[in-house]
Structure 1
Amino acid sequence: MELDLGQARAFVVTAGHLHFGRAAGELFLTQQALSKRVARLEESLGVRLFDRTGHAVRLTPAGERFLEPARRALAAADAAVAAARDERRPLRLDVWGHLFDPMRILREAVDRRPDLPIELNLRRGPDAAVAALRAGETDAGFGRVHGPPPDGLARRVVRREPMAAVMGAAHPLAGAGRLRPADLRATTMWFPAAIEKLDFLRDFCAEHGLTGEFGGVNLGLPYFLEWLRDHPDRVSLLPAALPVPGDAGVRVVPLVDPVPLYEWSLLWRSGDRDPALGGLLAELQRTARAGDRPE
């Protein structure tokens, strides 16, 4: 069979909303017209893609299997149309991990290649960025990716950045020239986010037998440093290369034996050949050489 892209788009948008009314509104169709497109697609495929029970809509197992390939087919079709029309738009890049300031790493790459057309999108975290990539709303994501890349996406680790301990100037360990992770067992590690969002920090605590306190709201670096200054019984982590104001009332102490490393990755749709994506990847890898460290 030949895949009808209009029917496939109707399915993908409906799968995103799991609601025919909202999907019809996004596609500027009547709900009846949308239902007909989905029904024709199901008839052509010979399988049901949705279960409809009352007002609830769920993907069937066949629908779950079809969703990612359908998204990739639509993204490829959109790219083909843009290529034929020679439509050149900026690389839409999602960025997350803002407490660790990913922008300073991107600045290094962009300073070397100011001609790279990049449009930044600031999302709340990797899950939202992955959803946007799959939906074709963005072209790439930059931040920490835990585990293997999600289905249909490719990942490249572009920097492994050494981390350091940061604490208020009144903390008993603030005068140390360097610390081992084991030296932190007498204190409590603090991180302003839910534990499920902080796999790196959670694993760091578990590996070295540290007590971790997770929670609160990430209100940015100035608040983060003020909180540590005012709580001299807590310690946290920051990239060793992250500039910290000298008047912040905190101390940054290098960690050794071992040095914890934070991985920054670039994430994109498998098979994407956007020239700007290739240029950004190349510059991120070049600028990482000075900051990259072995295990």
Structure 2
Amino acid sequence: MSLAPDAVAPRLLRAFLAVVDELHFTRAAARLYVAQQALSRDVRRLERELGVELFVRTTRQVALTPDGERLVPYARRVLEAQDALVEAFRQARPLLVDLNSPGLATGVRVLRRARELVPDVELLARYESGLTHAAAEILAGRLDVSFGRFAGLDPAVRARLEQQPVRYEPMAVILPDDHRLAALDAVPLAELRGETVYAGAGNPRTPEWTELARELFAGRGIELAPAAPLVVGEEEFARFMAKTRTPVLAVVDFPPMPRSVLRPLVDPVPLSPVSLVWRKGLTHPGLDALRRAAVEHAKAEVWLSHPQDGWIPAADALVMMTFTR
């Protein structure tokens, strides 16, 4: 007695069921859009693999054998399960996209355009607050895509990710609305000499941002504020700022906060490098749409133009020129 194989190709089962339904090899072949010889060959192969005879063939008719009768319900269940599997994955699963913080315009605008490009694909926003944390979530399979400063990640982490530059985003400072610099339209970096500025020190989700601030403040007489508890919510942010009166390093598109003003930094213009970041090997129509949307915005709004008076660390400049195409 022959032993059944560990696996049977679905194609062979489809050939078998077509003959079962038609009880005629020519009609079954036409139904499957294959040559009759190919259909007969698949049925014979299935019989060999199972070690049984499935049909009794005469010049006048085709009939199932007892083993053929026994196979029918199994074959139907296998093909129904395969069809269900294919259907489940025909539509791409939702793509989880980290936008860092609510209100940051770069990621929001790229995501909005990507949704227009692939309206039938679900792109779900998440707010992981910092690329270091988001990158760990991406590598753990709990997140798909994020935005942020790629050069600020650990090299071992970067080696498992891919990135596409999106924008050189000008940096800014958030000030209490009665701060001595609040009346300025833009704040020269030299005016921050002697100030202590908060840039996320102590936040384990955003060390790449703190390190960028540390490089920016070096040699300019600007102190990096020590670690502080993470403040969540607009009102709590306003209360904490009013109490500490500590300016906060931000980007020009940071959303408005109560009882504070946002002022761009100049002389030079410090730039926050923003990349689209994803796990190596990821393929998804939503990712393709995000990459296309990022390119469209970068061209239309000159996001990747480096101003003559712009400041950026050398490592970041190199990353922004070397990316996955």
Compared CA separation, residues 125 and 83, structure 1 to 2 (3 A): farther
Q: 1:249 to 1:157 in 2, by over 3 A?
A: same
Structure showing greater Rg:
2
Give yes or no for the alignment of 1:226 onto 2:227. no
Displacement of 1:85 after TM fit?
4.9
| 1:204 paired to 2:216 | yes
8 Å Cα contact 1:195/1:202 also seen in 2: no
Deviation at 1:168, TM superposition (A): 1.2
Q: How far did residue 192 of structure 1 move?
A: 4.5
- The residue that corresponds to 1:49 in the other structure is none
Q: Secondary structure at the match of 2:159?
A: coil
Correspondence 1:216 to 2:216: no
Partners of 2:194 and 2:221 within 8 A in 1: no
How many residue pairs match? The answer is 209
* C-alpha contact 2:168 2:271 (8 A) present in aligned 1: yes
User: Could you tell me whether the CA contact under 8 Å between 2:193 and 2:222 is conserved in 1?
Assistant: yes
Tell me how far apart the structure 1 counterparts of residues 291 and 133 of structure 2 sit (CA, whole Å): 21
**Quick one: which of 243, 259, 275 aligns to 1:249?**
259
Shift of 1:124: 5.4
In 2, Cα distance between equivalents of 1:172 and 1:221: 25
* Structure 1 CA distance for aligned equivalents of residues 175 and 128 of structure 2: 28
**Kept after mapping to 2: 8 A contact 1:205/1:212:** yes
Q: Which amino acid aligns with 1:285?
A: V
Distance 2:281 2:90 in 1: 19
User: Residue type of the partner of 1:107?
Assistant: V
Structure 2 gap ranges (5+)? 1-84, 311-325
Distance 2:256 2:149 in 1: 21
Asked whether the equivalents of residues 92 and 284 of structure 2 are also in contact (C-alpha less than 8 Å), the reply is no
Show the 5 A alignment for 1:55-74.
none
Asked whether 1:106 is paired with 2:129, we answer no
Length-normalised TM-score, structure 2:
0.55
Say whether 1:274 aligns with 2:275: no
The code of the aligned residue for 2:143 comes to: T
Runs of 4+ in 1 over 6 A off after TM superposition: 81-84
8 Å CA contact 1:193–1:218 kept in 2: the answer is no
Kindly report the root-mean-square deviation, in angstroms, between the aligned alpha carbons of the 2 structures: 2.9
Tell me how far apart the structure 2 counterparts of residues 86 and 254 of structure 1 sit (CA, whole Å).
47
- Please say if residues 99 and 108 of structure 2, whose CA atoms lie closer than 8 Å, have aligned partners that are also in contact: no
Please tell me whether residue 184 in structure 1 is matched to residue 192 in structure 2. Answer: yes
Match for residue 237 of structure 1 among 238, 249, 253: 249
* Structure 2 residue aligned with 1:264: 274
TM-aligned CA deviation for residue 185 of structure 1: 0.7
Query: Relative to 1, partners in 2 of residues 1:212 and 1:83: Cα closer, same or farther, differing over 3 Å?
Result: farther
Q: Secondary structure at the match of 2:229?
A: coil
Which sits farther off after the overlay, 189-198 or 252-261? 189-198
| 8 Å Cα contact 1:192/1:217 also seen in 2 | no
Seq. identity, %:
26
Deviations 1:216-257 (A, max 9, x none): 12223513333223444x322222223315xx2223222111
Q: Deviations over 1:126-171 (max 9, x none)?
A: 3443333333333222233315662221112211211122211222
Is 1:156 the counterpart of 2:164? The answer is yes
Tell me how far apart the structure 1 counterparts of residues 239 and 277 of structure 2 sit (CA, whole Å).
33
TM-score, with normalisation over the residues of structure 1? 0.60
